[in-house]
Amino acid sequence: MDVKAAEVLELSPVVPVVALDDAGQAVDLARALVRGGIGTIEVTLRTPAGLPAIERIAAEVEDIVVGAGTVTEPGQAARAAEAGAGYLVTPGGTDRLLDDLDEVGLPYLAGISTVSEAMRLAERGVSAMKFFPAEASGGVPYLQSLSGPLPGLRFCPTGGIGPDNARDYLALPNVGCVGGSWITPKRLLAAGDWGGVEALAREAAALR
């Protein structure tokens, strides 16, 4: 499924952020999320299983858009695209990394945590961004304050967000979705409890 960066924010109210240790779990995990009403998953490149997991999900689960997260250096974007990623997510954005993302051509959510970083991305024609680390960078009040001077920008806040505060972020006009790992906790992955993941996904999907 082809998407634009702005459309990534509309795929699901919550983007599950997952660091998989076993690529063999990827398809079952993605299918559980789909059954729960979640339309996307961000598989981070923090582990060796990241790229193989993206490849399996892209090939076998057609009802979900898989993104590659924690893209931090040139070269990773191209490898993620080859694996079948539909979009890319970075924690921040150096000029070198952003140039590489633009060259690869996939939609991306580059991370920002300051007004200047947001404005620099806007100068590049980017209007959809990741706000990270959300809670540590000012949280809901900070994002609320950005809507006045930067009304054309929308965000996916990630970092310190869970079921207790996700709804507060989603209520902001400049927030399209939130990212978090609470839908896919390590304990459920370790147990292969896909029914538990499905239940958490259903609760998250109902937040919008």
Active-site amino acid positions: 42, 130
CB contact burial 25-61 (16+ within 10 A = b; e otherwise): bbeebbbbbbbbbbbbbbbbbebebbbbbbbbbbeeb
Return the bridge partners of 89, or none. Answer: 109
Q: For residues 45 and 80, is the Cβ–Cβ distance under 8 A?
A: yes
Q: For residues 116 and 75, is the Cβ–Cβ distance under 8 A?
A: no
Helix axes of 26-35 and 50-60: crossing angle, nearest 10 degrees: 50
Q: For residues 15 and 170, is the Cβ–Cβ distance under 8 A?
A: no
Rounded to whole angstroms, the Cα distance separating 60 from 83 reads 12
The CA-CA-CA angle for residues 45, 167, 29, to 5°, reads: 35
Helix axes of 26-35 and 194-205: crossing angle, nearest 10 degrees: 40
Taking alpha carbons only, the member of 74, 28, 85 closest to residue 52 is 85
